[in-house]
Amino acid sequence: MTERFAGTDRYIATDDLMMAVNAAVTLGRPLLIKGEPGTGKTQLAQEIARSLDRPMFEWHVKSTSKAQQGLYEYDAVSRLRDSQLGDARVHDIANYILKGSLWEAFESATQPVLLIDEIDKADIEFPNDLLRELDRMEFYVYETRQLVKARHRPIIVITSNNEKELPDAFLRRCFFHYIRFPDEATLQRIVEVHYPGLKKELLAEALGAFFQVRETPGLKKKPSTSELLDWIKLLVAEDIDPQVLRSQDPKKTLPILHGALLKNEQDVHLFEQLVFLNRRVR
C-alpha cells in the first residue's frame, strides 16, 4: 500500500474517517458515507480525488434516477426521429447509446474516484440494481451485446442522508462510515483550514456562540459545519469585532447575522421567544 489518504489542506479528516477511506481504497470496496447535512460528505470524494491525484466522476442521484442511467441509456426517441428523417446514423444502434458516469469511470485510464451522491433520494430498489456492478465492476450492454469491464476498480464513495433504509445486500458490499458532528477542537481546525489567519478571539467567540445555538433544544434544523463556515465568512466580511460577539448574551438577543445559521422561520421564532422570556425573567 503506497498511498494513504490523510485529509488535505482544505479538508480535515478525523482518524476514524481516514481509516474508513484507506480500508475502502485498499480493498477496492465502495465506501458508504452518512451524516448530518453539511458535514462534508460530498466534499470528501472530491478531496480524495485531489489528494491521491485521481480523475473524478460524479453521479448525482435524484428521486427520478434509475440505476440504468448510471450505466448507459438507450436514446430511443432520437433514433425514432432519425429513422423518420431518414438519417444514415440510424443503422448503428451504438450511436444512440449514451454512456453514464459509471461507464465513464470504468473506462478511465487511471484508477478514478466515483461519487454516487445522495443514493437515498432514488427509488427504494435503486441500490439493489447496482449490486453486480459494484461487486464485479462490470455490466452488460444488451443493445450492442458488449460487456463493459472496469479497467481499474474505481474508488467509489456513496453518500446518503438517511431518507431511506438501504437494502442489506447492498450494505454488505460497502464499508460504512458515519460522519459525526465535529467537536470543538476539530471544528477549530476546520475553520482554520478555510479561513487561515482568522483572529483568535473572533474564532473562539464565534465557536462559542455557534455551539450555544446548536444546543438550543427544539431547533428544527441544527446549524452544521457548512453553515458555520458561511457565518464566519459573513462575520469577516462585515468586519465584526469579537468584542461585539462577546458582549452579546445569546440568551438576550438573537445572534448577529443569524440568517446564516437559522434556516427556517420557526427556528428564528423559537429564538425570539426564548429571548423574550429571558428578558421578562430579569
Partner 1 sequence: MLVNFFFELRKGGVPVTITEFLTLLEALRAGVAWASVEEFYFLARTTLVKDERHYDRFDRVFAEIFNGAQKLFEEIVANVPDEWLQALAARTLTEEEKKKVEALGGWEKLLETLRARLQQQRERHQGGNKWIGTGGTSPFGANGYNPEGIRIGQAGSRNRRAVKVWEQREYRNFDDTVELGTRNMKLGLRKLRKFAREGAADQLDLDGTIDATARNAGMLDLKLVPERRNAVKVLLFLDVGGSMDDHIRICEELFSAARSEFKHLEHFYFHNFLYESAWKDNRRRFSAVTPVTQILRTYAHDYRVIFVGDATMSPYEITQPGGSVEHWNKEAGSVWMQRMTATYPRLVWLNPESPQRWEHTASVRITRELVQDRMFPVTIQGLDSAIAALRRPMGRAGWGTLMRASEPPPPP
Residue choice 6, 9, 76, 149 for contact with partner 1 (CB under 8 A): 76
Q: Minimum distance between the CB of residue 196 and partner 1, rounded to whole angstroms?
A: 27
C-alpha distances out from residue 145 to 140, 252, 265, Å:
7, 70, 55
State which of positions 177-196 bind partner 1 (CB under 8 A).
Answer: 177-178, 180
Tell me the C-alpha distance between 131 and 30, whole Å.
11
Contact status, residue 225 vs residue 187, Cβ threshold 8 Å: yes
- Cell numbers at 85, concatenated: 428523417
The reply to whether 6 sits near partner 1 by the rule CB under 8 A is no
Give whichever of 138 and 163 is closer to partner 1, judged by the CB atom. 163
The reply to whether 219 sits near partner 1 by the rule CB under 8 A is no
The reply to whether 168 sits near partner 1 by the rule CB under 8 A is yes
The reply to whether 84 sits near partner 1 by the rule CB under 8 A is yes
Give whichever of 50 and 79 is closer to partner 1, judged by the CB atom. 79
Supply the DSSP symbol for 167. P
Q: Minimum distance between the CB of residue 7 and partner 1, rounded to whole angstroms?
A: 15
Tell me the C-alpha distance between 34 and 256, whole Å.
31
The reply to whether 270 sits near partner 1 by the rule CB under 8 A is no
Could you count the other beta carbons within 10 Å of the beta carbon of residue 196? 8
Q: Which stretch binds partner 1 (CB under 8 A): 52-60, 63-71, 72-80, 201-209?
A: 72-80
Tell me the C-alpha distance between 96 and 236, whole Å.
52
Binding mask 18-47 for partner 1 (x = CB under 8 A): -xx-xxx-xx-x--x-x-------------
Query: Beta strand 97-99 with 72-74: parallel, antiparallel or unpaired?
Result: antiparallel
Could you count the other beta carbons within 10 Å of the beta carbon of residue 65? 18
H/E run at residue 4:
none
Q: Can you give the binding site for partner 1, defined by CB under 8 A?
A: 1, 15-16, 19-20, 22-24, 26-27, 29, 32, 34, 76-77, 80, 83-84, 163-165, 168, 171-172, 174-178, 180
